[in-house]
Amino acid sequence: METTTGAQAASMFRDLIGRGDLAWALRLLSEYTTGVVRGRWSLIETPPGTGDTRWDTTLAALTCWAASVTSQATPDWAASAKALGDC
Protein backbone atom coordinates (compact mmCIF):
# COMPACT_ATOMS: atom_id res chain seq x y z
CA MET A 1 0.00 0.00 0.00
CA GLU A 2 1.52 3.29 -1.11
CA THR A 3 1.09 6.38 1.05
CA THR A 4 -0.11 9.63 -0.48
CA THR A 5 2.31 12.34 0.59
CA GLY A 6 1.27 15.69 1.99
CA ALA A 7 2.84 17.37 -1.05
CA GLN A 8 0.72 15.22 -3.37
CA ALA A 9 -2.41 16.05 -1.37
CA ALA A 10 -1.65 19.79 -1.49
CA SER A 11 -1.10 19.57 -5.24
CA MET A 12 -4.45 17.81 -5.72
CA PHE A 13 -6.22 20.53 -3.72
CA ARG A 14 -4.49 23.31 -5.70
CA ASP A 15 -5.46 21.66 -8.97
CA LEU A 16 -9.11 21.05 -8.07
CA ILE A 17 -9.65 24.48 -6.52
CA GLY A 18 -7.80 26.18 -9.36
CA ARG A 19 -10.16 24.53 -11.84
CA GLY A 20 -13.16 25.44 -9.74
CA ASP A 21 -14.02 21.78 -9.17
CA LEU A 22 -15.29 22.35 -5.66
CA ALA A 23 -17.42 19.19 -5.52
CA TRP A 24 -14.31 17.04 -5.96
CA ALA A 25 -12.34 19.26 -3.61
CA LEU A 26 -14.96 18.63 -0.92
CA ARG A 27 -14.70 14.89 -1.50
CA LEU A 28 -10.93 15.16 -1.29
CA LEU A 29 -11.25 16.75 2.17
CA SER A 30 -12.88 13.55 3.35
CA GLU A 31 -10.32 11.34 1.61
CA TYR A 32 -7.47 13.39 3.09
CA THR A 33 -8.66 13.26 6.70
CA THR A 34 -9.72 9.62 6.51
CA GLY A 35 -6.45 8.72 4.82
CA VAL A 36 -4.36 10.44 7.50
CA VAL A 37 -6.31 8.76 10.31
CA ARG A 38 -5.93 5.35 8.66
CA GLY A 39 -2.24 5.87 7.93
CA ARG A 40 -2.61 5.93 4.13
CA TRP A 41 -1.93 9.65 3.69
CA SER A 42 0.69 11.92 5.23
CA LEU A 43 -0.16 15.28 6.76
CA ILE A 44 0.24 18.32 4.53
CA GLU A 45 3.50 19.68 5.96
CA THR A 46 3.66 23.04 4.17
CA PRO A 47 1.00 25.62 3.33
CA PRO A 48 -1.10 24.20 0.49
CA GLY A 49 -1.26 27.56 -1.32
CA THR A 50 -4.63 27.00 -2.95
CA GLY A 51 -5.03 30.72 -3.60
CA ASP A 52 -8.18 30.76 -1.48
CA THR A 53 -7.86 31.68 2.19
CA ARG A 54 -11.06 29.82 3.07
CA TRP A 55 -9.77 26.56 1.62
CA ASP A 56 -6.35 27.00 3.22
CA THR A 57 -8.05 27.65 6.60
CA THR A 58 -10.25 24.58 6.17
CA LEU A 59 -7.21 22.46 5.33
CA ALA A 60 -5.36 23.89 8.34
CA ALA A 61 -8.24 22.97 10.65
CA LEU A 62 -8.52 19.44 9.28
CA THR A 63 -4.76 18.97 9.36
CA CYS A 64 -4.74 20.12 12.99
CA TRP A 65 -7.55 17.74 13.84
CA ALA A 66 -5.98 14.77 12.02
CA ALA A 67 -2.63 15.41 13.71
CA SER A 68 -4.34 15.44 17.09
CA VAL A 69 -6.31 12.26 16.46
CA THR A 70 -3.20 10.42 15.28
CA SER A 71 -0.88 11.87 17.96
CA GLN A 72 1.33 13.52 15.35
CA ALA A 73 2.89 16.95 15.61
CA THR A 74 0.76 19.61 13.98
CA PRO A 75 2.64 21.22 11.07
CA ASP A 76 3.60 24.82 11.87
CA TRP A 77 1.57 26.29 9.00
CA ALA A 78 -1.62 24.63 10.27
CA ALA A 79 -1.01 25.46 13.92
CA SER A 80 -0.45 29.13 13.12
CA ALA A 81 -3.53 29.62 10.92
CA LYS A 82 -5.14 32.80 12.27
CA ALA A 83 -8.73 31.57 12.23
CA LEU A 84 -8.03 28.49 14.31
CA GLY A 85 -6.98 29.86 17.67
CA ASP A 86 -5.28 27.20 19.76
CA CYS A 87 -4.89 23.87 18.08
Q: Transcribe 25-65 into DSSP letters.
A: HHHHHHHHHHHHHTTSB----S----S-HHHHHHHHHHHHH
Q: For the segment 6-60, what is each residue's pLDDT rounded down to a tens digit?
A: 999 999 999 999 999 999 999 999 999 999 999 999 999 999 999 998 899 999 9
pLDDT at 53: 87
**pTM: predicted TM-score of the whole model, two decimal places:** 0.89
Q: For the segment 46-83, what is each residue's pLDDT rounded down to a tens digit?
A: 999 999 988 999 999 999 999 999 999 999 999 887 55
